[in-house]
Amino acid sequence: MAAIRLAVPDTAQRGEVIEIKALIQHPMESGFRRGSRGEVIPRNIITRFECRYNGALVFASDFQPAIAANPILTFHTVATETGELEFKWTDQNGEAWSEIATITVT
Amino acid sequence: MTSRFNRRTLIKGAAISLGLVGLPSVGLSQAKPNIVIVGGGFGGASAARLLRQLMPSASITLVEENAKYTACPFSNLVIGLGRPLDAQAFSYTGLESSGITLAYDRALDVDVTNKTVSLASGVTLPFDRLILSPGVDMRWGAIEGYSQDAAELLPHAWKAGPQTRLLREQLQAMPDGDTVIMTVPPAPYRCPPGPYERASMIAHYLKTQKPNSKLIVLDAKDSFSKMTLFQEAWAEHYPDHLEWRGAIDDGRVSRVDAATNTVSTDFETLQATVINVIPPQKTGEIADRAGVSDATGWCPIDPISFESRLQSDIHVIGDATIAAPMPKSAFSANLQAKVCAVAVARLLSDLPPQPTVLANTCYSYTTPDEAISIAGVYTNEGSSLSSIAGAGGVSPLGADKSIRAAEAAQAVHWFETITSEAFG
């Protein structure tokens, strides 16, 4: 199971640009590597990341095999209202992991 | 590696395999060549002493700022166990009495065209061959907020001396129950297992003197030298006093603040009473001035002669070099100095340098009377240094305490041998 770390400000002023960081522990196995016996190590990657702010998509990214293991994303959005930010990673097989952070906007 | 053979034998054996025995009889093409060596650490001092033997008629000048050298190996025992800092100090009087000229000065610049080194005092030294053994400089600013001023409050103690004392004093002054943080940079840096030996020594200090305190190690890496051996020792001895966090657990430090005694990773800001920042490093500055360092911040060298790949007639040895798989260690610097000295003597005698075998052993203390080690053997045949497969190795996991104690005793002998080799 993948561990997730989030960095979202607890509070912000309306209209403020806030920095968000999101890390997920994942091998991001490219499918191009070989094991010690020469066998191909099967591809196992996250293919999609989405961040929704009170349900509205504010940031999304498609991941490819070149993305490193345990990817960290840093991005910005505008604090508009008090609520929840939902972070969701989906892998190539459709398995998904998500986490929620709350923010108070004044 | 624990075995019956003595490291002293290895050091002497390596010297013999370099063909030192036959060299002094080689007729010199130059009556009195000028050899200048910058940096009086394990590399520079060892090179000066061997060249003195190999070339009795040469003029050999060692440029070094400090009247005494403070050795890094064993300095973690100063920090954690209260070993006297004086036991780390070595003077150059032995070198001077053997006919090596000591210039207690700072080398400011190298004129590669006219082949001179200029010193802070205004003196200019001409050279036929220059050997740079400049060690490391800290990359100030690589961690946001970590400057030379900040290091007076948050010591790196990665050059032995006042910084070592400062970290020791901070630990002693800290109230029981407070937190210590150590930050570890990505490779390459001086002494790959050094941070983990230091973590062991600090954890021992806390366990015995400040039992309610804890050390948190924030590491930019997910694996490190002798990792399983260190972790075995930590689980046994310091389960309540040492927490190691790798990059995968948000261990990578991006910012420190000396005003608030805080350390920031990507996701967290932690506060501690004592913060030991081991910052990213680069070659000593004089190598940059001489134009022998590249974009990596380190110096590419020919592995047979240790001559710079960027400037002819200038050699670089020790921590400043790109010599992987050899680690940046005192042992490596000492052996590279010998290989380089022989190569310089041969080149000045119109003889080609010859390939040879190099080695390294790093001992690390895990408790006051237990140590573990890693040993490597390398060849410089071909265009790069490479490990000789099947040679060297690491201490066994799950070994009896007597094996760890035997390695701790070997470490003491190693320190005596390497310091007497370098400083006489």
Nearest-Cα distance to chain A for B362, in Å, is 28
Q: What is the mean pLDDT of residues B226-239?
A: 98
Q: What is the mean pLDDT of residues A4-30?
A: 95
What pLDDT does A99 receive?
Answer: 96
Nearest-Cα distance to chain A for B66, in Å, is 45
Do residue B267 and residue A21 have CB atoms under 8 angstroms apart? yes
Chains A and B form CB pairs within 8 A to the count of 16
Domain limits, chain B: 7-135+284-423, 148-277
pTM, full prediction: 0.89
What pLDDT does B11 receive?
Answer: 46
Is the predicted pLDDT of residue B241 greater than 80, yes or no? Answer: yes
Mean pLDDT computed over every residue of chain A: 95
Is the predicted pLDDT of residue B137 greater than 90, yes or no? Answer: yes
Q: How many CB atoms lie under 10 A from the CB of residue A5?
A: 18
What pLDDT does B6 receive?
Answer: 46
Highest CATH level, class, for B148-277:
alpha beta
Do residue A5 and residue B247 have CB atoms under 8 angstroms apart? no
CATH code of the domain occupying B7-135+284-423: 3.50.50.60
Residue at B61: amino acid letter: T
On chain B, the residues whose CB falls within 8 A of the CB of A23 are: 250, 266-267
DSSP characters over B195-215: HHHHHHHHHHHHHHH-TT-EE
**Each residue's pLDDT tens digit, B245-270:** 999 889 999 999 999 999 999 899 99
Hey, which residues 248-267 in chain B have their CB within 8 Å of chain A?
248, 250, 266-267
Helix (H) or strand (E) segment spanning residue B42:
helix B42-54
On chain B, the residues whose CB falls within 8 A of the CB of A70 are: 247-248
Percentage of chain A beyond pLDDT 90 is 94
What pLDDT does B248 receive?
Answer: 86
Is the predicted pLDDT of residue B127 greater than 70, yes or no? Answer: yes
Q: CB neighbours of B239 closer than 8 A, spacing ≥ 6?
A: none
Q: What is the mean pLDDT of residues B80-98?
A: 97
The two tokens of residue B392 are: 């060297």
Is the predicted pLDDT of residue A69 greater than 80, yes or no? Answer: yes
B5 exposed, middle or buried (CB, 10 Å; 0-12, 13-18, 19+)? exposed
Fold of the CATH domain A4-105: Immunoglobulin-like (2.60.40)
A106 vs A2, residue with greater confidence: A106
Nearest-Cα distance to chain B for A63, in Å, is 19
| CA distances from residue B408 to A95, B42, B164, B391, B403 in whole angstroms, order as listed | 51, 21, 21, 21, 9
What pLDDT does B31 receive?
Answer: 61
What pLDDT does B293 receive?
Answer: 98
The residue count of chain A comes to 106
Q: How many CB atoms lie under 10 A from the CB of residue B19?
A: 13
**Each residue's pLDDT tens digit, B94-124:** 999 999 999 999 999 999 999 999 999 999 9
Do residue A70 and residue B247 have CB atoms under 8 angstroms apart? yes
Percentage of chain B beyond pLDDT 70 is 93
On chain A, the residues whose CB falls within 8 A of the CB of B248 are: 25, 70
Instruction: Give the residue among A77, A105, A72, A66 at the shortest CA–CA distance from A89.
Output: A72
Do the domains spanning B7-135+284-423 and B148-277 agree at the CATH topology level? yes
Do residue B266 and residue A70 have CB atoms under 8 angstroms apart? no
**Each residue's pLDDT tens digit, A36-68:** 899 999 999 999 999 999 999 999 999 999 999
Q: What angle do CA B369, B370, B373 make, to 5 degrees?
A: 140
**Each residue's pLDDT tens digit, B183-212:** 999 999 999 999 999 999 999 999 999 999
Do residue A5 and residue B250 have CB atoms under 8 angstroms apart? yes
Cβ contact A2:A25 at 8 Å: yes
Is the predicted pLDDT of residue B302 greater than 90, yes or no? Answer: yes
What pLDDT does B28 receive?
Answer: 47
Q: Which of B248, B266, B267 minimises the CB distance to A25?
A: B248
Is the predicted pLDDT of residue B76 greater than 80, yes or no? Answer: yes
| CA distances from residue B7 to A11, B20, B228 in whole angstroms, order as listed | 61, 19, 24
Is the predicted pLDDT of residue B10 greater than 80, yes or no? Answer: no
Band (pLDDT 50/70/90 cuts) for residue B20 is very low
Q: The complex's ipTM?
A: 0.71
Is the predicted pLDDT of residue B1 greater than 90, yes or no? Answer: no
Q: Is B363 helix (H, G, I), strand (E, B) or coil?
A: strand
Nearest CA in chain A to B269: A7
Instruction: For chain A, list residues whose CB is within 8 angstroms of any CB belonging to chain B.
Output: 5-7, 21, 23, 25, 70, 72
**Each residue's pLDDT tens digit, B355-397:** 999 999 999 999 999 999 999 999 999 889 999 999 989 999 9
Do residue A70 and residue B248 have CB atoms under 8 angstroms apart? yes
On chain B, the residues whose CB falls within 8 A of the CB of A22 are: none
**Each residue's pLDDT tens digit, B140-184:** 999 999 999 999 999 999 999 999 999 999 999 999 999 999 999
Instruction: Give the residue among B201, B192, B183, B103 at the shortest CA–CA distance from B144.
Output: B183
